Amino acid sequence: MRRFVVGLLATIGAITLLLAGVGVYFAARGPFATRSLPSSMVLSLDLRSLPPETVSSDVLSSLWAGSSQDIVDTVQALWRAADDPRVSGLYVEIGDEDAGLARVQELREAIQRFRGKGKFVIGFAESLGSSGDHFSDYYLASALDRIWLQPSGGFGVAGLAIETPFVKAGLDKLGVRMEGGKRYEYKSAPDTFTETAMTAPARENLQQLIDALYGQFIEDVSRERHIAPAKLRQLIDSTPFDSERARTEGLVDKIGYRADAMDDVWQRAGKTHDLVSLSDYSDEDRRPKPRGDVIALVRVSGTIVSGPGSDTPLDDDLQAASDDIVDALDAAAQSKDVKAIVLRIDSPGGTYPAADAIADGVARARAAGKPVIVSMGDVAASGGYLAAVRADVIVAEPSTITGSIGVFGMWPVAMPDLLNTLGIKVDRLTAGANAGMFSSFHLPNAAQRAAIGRQLDAIYADFAHQVGEARQLDATRLDLAARGRVFGGVDARRAGLIDELGGLQLAFSIAKAKAGIDESKTIDVQRFPQDNDRLQRVIDRLSRLANVATNGPEMRPPRELRDLLRRLGISAHAGNVRLPPMPPLWH
């Protein structure tokens, strides 16, 4: 009885909190909230933290935040503002040195279009020096009309580096061995656990990748800042130096403080203007309006996993759950209003069956008569690439990391010396020759290793076959594009893995053309799953929580321990800790 009462109260409290959050959302941020914008304005955009691919992994948080913007919202708002006569300029706060380069390029393109409409863009950076490499934030800043840098900020923009820790020697000392395998030599993710240094193929591939990305930076910045490429390379190689030298070398335009930059903004505006955040500007567009032709936007963001997503009631866990994505694709394909689908992918991969299920969902949407255009974000590799491969057109930014056509699977095994040192004895009973093949306490035998190898070979062969068939690559081109290699967008297009270089707006433009929508017409971008579907998922999870509260959960370790174990790929139930069957994983 006590368990029932506690569970009932917990459920009522959770539902009350949810309803309160929904009420706040619709009262303060919803489509019918009253807001009026001035007849002339300058927009402000804080890019000290770049907009993420998704605003929140937490359904309730996203409802509560309301106007929090992801990269899609931000780019679309900038495109609208470029054509809005009320908007004369944009003020940008600069400072996210860890931003993904593809999102930086998305914003650069939107800002350049904004400038191309005769509008100014002024940015302020408190620092481009002191610590960090400041590669991403300066790359973004270089697209602006004018860069203000604080006198004490300094300039320390450096190049690109990849640092990979190798822990095999440490695991050996601990008495832990990683079992499994990979296909093939360029698939470098598992090397952290199985090698003591970069292999020659991995070094070759990754050096090619960062050389290509750095070359894009040099080309774009030298063009925008009117500095010869050789001179720019020389300046980057001589950093750090002070703000004044950055100004005299043409890397920034003005030295001053935030107030000085704002004075510059109002001088450029030419008359009295109001400063309006891009978020508030976007809120105006959420009011009911006549609908145009509908293009569906479906997201694949995070690690691709099988099933319907997180079991926790309010948290989506930054995972791309295949069930949810396939349902969204099916719903968009079946909707009479939807003319085309844009599939936005930002994922390093995941389990093979989950990624394959999404690829099948794409194929079925196309078979239903809906063009599917893929827009790739910072990364669309391995399973993230497989999810894209059956689309009509694949669009990626020049700096999107893609490819990684390969597979690996591994799990840790505690060696006898470690178990003896810890005083642990593991008794074993089996029924079946391969029972316990993926044990964390016993090494697989030769026959079992051979079976695992055959599984990896089969998965790789199927993955490569799907890519070759969908992308019409012959065996030679396919082999040069596969074996675990990763590419930037430019090299991926040369390899035949993508079709076009660009961002979301190019993907929407292609979708319009494929659907027969006039380029000049405004489209209505609708996200699938829609907000009411997200809310229903919250209610379903709360119902499961109420069922557990009233009927009693199984005995499980504390949530904190379960979360830690889950991140390590370990499941824990009823006091037993075990590794799941080895899933082929991508990275």
187 is catalytic: yes
Identify whether the C-beta of residue 363 lies closer than 8 Å to the C-beta of residue 395: no
Is residue 142 classed as helix, strand or coil in its secondary structure? Answer: coil
Residue 259 has pLDDT above 70, yes or no: yes
Q: Which of 124-133, 439-448, 575-584 has the lowest mean pLDDT?
A: 575-584
Sorted by where each starts, the structural domains of the chain and their CATH numbers stand as: 41-56+66-157+239-283 (3.90.226.10), 290-424+449-538 (3.90.226.10)
**Where do runs of H (alpha helix) occur along 412-530?**
416-421, 446-471, 475-481, 489-494, 504-515
pLDDT tens string 41-90: 999 999 999 999 886 544 454 444 444 689 999 999 999 999 999 999 99
- φ/ψ bin of 320: left (φ > 0), alpha (ψ from -120 to 50), beta (otherwise): beta
Q: Map tokens 């040195």 to a residue.
A: 97
Identify the pLDDT of residue 389: 98
Residue 585 has pLDDT above 50, yes or no: no
Residue 553 has pLDDT above 90, yes or no: no
Q: Give the pLDDT band of residue 284 (cuts 50, 70, 90).
A: confident
What mean pLDDT value characterizes the chain? 85
Give the C-alpha separation, 262 to 254, whole Å: 12
- Percent of the chain, pLDDT > 70? 79
The number of helix segments (H) and strand segments (E) in the chain equals: 22, 20
- Cβ neighbours of 429 (radius 10 Å): 6
List Cβ neighbours of 47 (8 Å cut-off, separation of 6 or more). Answer: 92, 93, 94, 95, 96, 99, 107, 137, 140
Strands 146-149 and 87-94: unpaired
Q: What are phi and psi of 355, to 5 degrees?
A: -65, -40
Identify the pLDDT of residue 131: 77
Q: Choosing from 136, 282, 301, 382, which is the catalytic residue?
A: 382
Give the C-alpha separation, 412 to 578, whole Å: 11
Burial 215-239 (b: 16+ CB within 10 A, else e): ebbbebbbebbebeeeebeebbeeb
Q: Which two tokens stand for residue 295?
A: 């293009």
Give the C-alpha separation, 406 to 487, whole Å: 13
For residue 507, the one-letter residue type is A
231 is catalytic: no
**Where do runs of H (alpha helix) occur along 335-372?**
352-367
Closest CA to 399 of 212, 224, 232, 229: 212
Q: Choosing from 119, 182, 187, 339, which is the catalytic residue?
A: 187
Identify whether the C-beta of residue 374 lies closer than 8 Å to the C-beta of residue 394: yes
Q: Which of 270-274, 380-384, 391-395 has the lowest mean pLDDT?
A: 270-274
Identify whether the C-beta of residue 474 lies closer than 8 Å to the C-beta of residue 173: no
